[in-house]
Structure 1
Amino acid sequence: MLAEAHGTFGHTADTAAGMATFTRARVVRFTTLAVGAGCIALGVHALLTALGSTEEQGDWRIALMIVVFVPLAAMIVACLVGRGVHLAAGVFAVAYPIALLAWPLATAGSQPAPDDGPWIWLLLNIATVAAVLAFPFPLQIAWTVLVPVQYGVVRLAQAEFAPEFWAPVILDVVYAIILATVLLTLDRVYRAVATRVDRARVDAVASYAAAAAADAAERERIAVAALMHDSVLAALIAAERADSPREHGLAVAMAREALTRLANAEQDVGEGPDAPIGVGELVERLERGAREVGIELQADRILVDETLTIPGRVGRALALAATQAVANAVEHAASAGLEVTVSDGDEPGGVVIVIRDHGTGFDLTTVPDDRLGIRASIYARVAAVGGRAHVAPTARGTTITLEWSPPA
């Protein structure tokens, strides 16, 4: 069940990144939609008020409406479609303070009422929210405080700092700062909660993956134990009871078959035909196997006889064992100094494959008994076809030599 559940998840880097931002992305989308809806309501109200305003001079009113409402419309569209929100919100967050700076000039000579706020006041908190959508946290705090304060200074300057304006303007500024702080806090809280949910999801998927891997490893150990009981034990019993040369030969054949099946226990590899294959095809299989483990490898050929052929089962065993050695070098030595050499054997018709890397090496005696990468996939696999494998780890790297010679 765990393995099936684990198989339903993607395991690419893009998928992992998507899971890590799943909830946060939806919180951000919900926030932009809510801001877009609020901007529509406040924007329509401010637009209708601006059309009937008498505080500004005619040309100034048109210029201010263009500076304010065009970026606002772009911000609303961006929030609704979910595209270009940062840019559009940033433009409005900058355009609004510029319009505020021009407000005293636009309203010069007018007689404002202390209790009636101008239409530009209605868009004050939209500017602070736009900063939340567009700017980093320090600038968000700056806009939350400074833009309302700027409005208060501009409003008092318009009224020439008349005493009756101080109380209502200060109340407007405090109200705007409180509302902007609440909106900023809500945004930060929602994003932090979403981030924690995404982190918990990633941890949960990782734990399920680890459980699935442990379950697969346990299944493999059970399969190998059953194979040992059925095949290897039968071969040992046959060898113990053999009395004649023919029975000895059959026992050896059973043992060889058991070793081959044990070597192939971790993957579905059949014996296949035993037609001879050339060393060139052997090298191609090895290079193809290296690509499957994630590395482009070109083996060096040092061959006296380029037409050398070996039995098909021998070629398959050597290619799989060499691929396992390459996989070990990729996993444990990060492919440092990895090179593969294929050459003639000491005896006519033989072949030698040498895999070297420049990793830190390892101690063969410390490899756990349940790890089959060397014992089964290299030693047993090569021994099953009558070959020899030698692993020589040192502090400056590891050399694995695979040899096969035709029987006398």
Structure 2
Amino acid sequence: MPAADWRASRLVPRRAAVSRAQVETVAGRALGAFGLVFGAQTVPTAVDQARFMADGSGVAMMAVVYGAIAALAAATFTRVAVRAAALAFAAIYVIALLAWPFLVVDAAGMAGRTPWLYYLCTVATTAAVIALPVAPAAAYTSAVPAIYGVVRLSPSGGGASALIAVLDTMYAVILGIVVLVIITMLRQAAIAVDAAQEAALERYDAVARRHATEIERVKVDALVHDSVLTTLLSAAASRTPAERALAARMAADAVRRLDEAAVEVPGLDDRVALTVLTRRLRGGVAGFSAPFIVRVDGTDGVELPVEAIDALSSAAMQAMVNSVQHADGPIGRVRRELEVRGVGAGGCVIRVIDNGSGFDPAAVPPSRLGLRVSIEERMVNEGGSARVESVPGEGTTVTLAWPAGVEGSGE
């Protein structure tokens, strides 16, 4: 398709709202970055304390713990299996902490020293917050520092005084709770923003439908005023045969125009210009917190049934909502596009494209109705088709076509 045929809409800069997906991305990447920093800081201490542990056990513990940190960082920056990696690190940290007293063979050498695992405690509690619901995360945040406190009191943990052990424990608990509260509040706020945005789009769709109905009502009212009332007044004032004949012709013309108006009122068999759908989608795009590049081609002269227009509009809006809420790239980095293309005199293809995180369509649970019901079933029920193409880390393309099979035409 020639590039000159595309017409891009002007993008108005706007401040993007924070979605749940963006909160998860930012929190995960912060965890990965701080895990690498804290892990690097503990390496000298870990190497020094390895000599007080059983042969090879210190090196093995470092390999497992630091390997888990590296895997966690990789997962957070690629946005693949973040929760699984966070949960794995949280579990490995607890196991390492519990194993510490049994692996230290030179307790005297550890006297007065702080086990290097302590400096990763906040990383572990933050990983639990990322991976677990609030209640289990809160329990982990309290229990893990308490386990460390017990280890700290033992000779293998440095034989600290009760006061030092309590202070270290409380410090780790406070940091963990602060992280838990912040991330939980951000998640709840983002969920509220997502819900408000989806509700606003639903209200917009309802208003657009009412507006179309009102336009038709005004047209009919104008017709009644201009034709029917004029005819009645003319008939009432007619006195001569010529005037009566004129009134009869006016009456016939008014009946014909009323019949045409009845046909024009949107119904199951009515056809509407594709430009109506384009205007509706442009209006919906203007209400999003993230910008879309809108491209329109070949819509002039194309007409579709009202039900097809409604199905395409609702499915496209849902696809754009999903992109805004779930593409979860860094703010301003995800490129989103809406393409509307007319096919022949009665076909349409719409594509919603983003280069965000992507997902595995086969892994979407049946309980998630946005993809299955709001997009796929809606299009199929009206004689169209919907295809979702997505790969984790490579973005998503949702293709809507009406009628089904028209997608490959005119490419």
TM-score normalised to structure 2 length? 0.55
Equivalences for residues 152-231 of structure 1 within 5 A: 152-159=149-156, 162=159, 164-231=160-227
Is the aligned partner of 1:117 residue 2:111? Answer: no
Q: Partner of 1:93 in structure 2?
A: 90
Q: Tell me if the contact between 1:159 and 1:165 (Cα under 8 Å) persists in the aligned partners.
A: no
Structure-2 separation of matches of 1:178 and 1:84: 28
Q: How many Å apart are 1:208 and its aligned residue? A: 4.2
- Among residues 31, 40, 44, which one is paired with 1:44 in the alignment? 40
Match of 1:150 in 2: 147
2:243 maps to 1:256: no
Tell whether the 8 Å contact from 1:33 to 1:79 is kept in structure 2 after alignment. yes
- Residue 174 of structure 1 and its aligned partner are, at CA, apart by 1.2
Q: Is the contact between residue 108 and residue 158 of structure 1 (CA under 8 Å) also seen in structure 2? A: no
Secondary structure in 1 aligned to 2:226?
helix
Aligned CA distance change for structure 1 residues 48 and 77 (closer, same or farther; 3 Å): farther
Structure 1: tracts of 5 or more residues without a match: 1-7, 9-20, 271-287, 295-408
Gaps in structure 2 of 5+ consecutive residues: 1-8, 10-16, 272-304, 312-411
Q: Deviations over 1:90-140 (max 9, x none)?
A: 111111111112111210233244543121111111111111111122210
Residue by residue over 1:374-393, the C-alpha shift from the partner in whole angstroms, topping out at 9 and shown as x without a partner, is: xxxxxxxxxxxxxxxxxxxx
1:157-203 per-position Cα deviation (integer Å, ceiling 9, x unaligned): 344895x5333222211111111111111111111222233333334
1:30 maps to amino acid: V
Given the alignment, which residue of 241, 244, 248 partners 1:243? 241
Partner of 2:24: 28
Alignment pair present for 1:129 and 2:126: yes
1:192-251: CA deviation from partner (whole Å, max 9, x where unpaired) = 222233333334444444444444443333222111122323443565548379657635
Q: For the residues of structure 1 that align with 2:182 and 2:265, how far apart are their CA atoms?
A: 53
Task: Quote the offset at 1:40 in angstroms.
Answer: 1.2
- Contact residue 35 and residue 73 of structure 2 kept, 8 A: yes
Residues 57, 107 of structure 1: 8 Å contact kept: yes
Does 2:74 correspond to 1:77? yes
Give the RMSD, CA atoms, in angstroms. Answer: 3.2
3-state SS of paired residue (1:153): helix
Structure 2: how far apart are the matches of 1:58 and 1:90? 29
Distance 1:152 1:173 in 2: 5
CA distance in 1, matches of 2:122, 2:105: 25
> Per the alignment, do residues 175 and 216 of structure 1 end up closer, same or farther by CA in structure 2, a change over 3 Å counting?
same
The AA in structure 2 aligned to 1:123 is L
| Cα distance in 1 for residues equivalent to 2:54 and 2:173 | 29
Structure 1 distance, partners of 2:57, 2:29, is 32
Q: Which of 80, 99, 103 lines up with 2:100 in the alignment?
A: 103
Q: 1:110 aligns to what SS in structure 2?
A: coil
- Residue 52 of structure 1 aligns to a residue whose secondary structure is helix
Cα separation, partners in 2 of 1:55 and 1:166, compared to 1, 3 Å:
farther
**How far apart in 2 are the matches of 1:258 and 1:238?**
17
Counterpart for residue 397 of structure 2: none
Contact preservation (8 Å) 2:122, 2:172:
yes
- Paired letter, 1:149: A
Query: CA–CA distance in 2 between the matches of 1:290 and 1:206?
Result: 17
Bigger Cα Rg: 1
Q: How many angstroms apart in 1 are the aligned matches of 2:307 and 2:188?
A: 44
Please give the TM-score of this superposition, normalised by the length of structure 1: 0.55
Structure 2 Cα separation of the partners of residues 203 and 91 of structure 1: 37
Q: 1:38 to 1:107 in 2, by over 3 A?
A: same
Structure 2 residue matching 1:57: 3-state secondary structure: coil
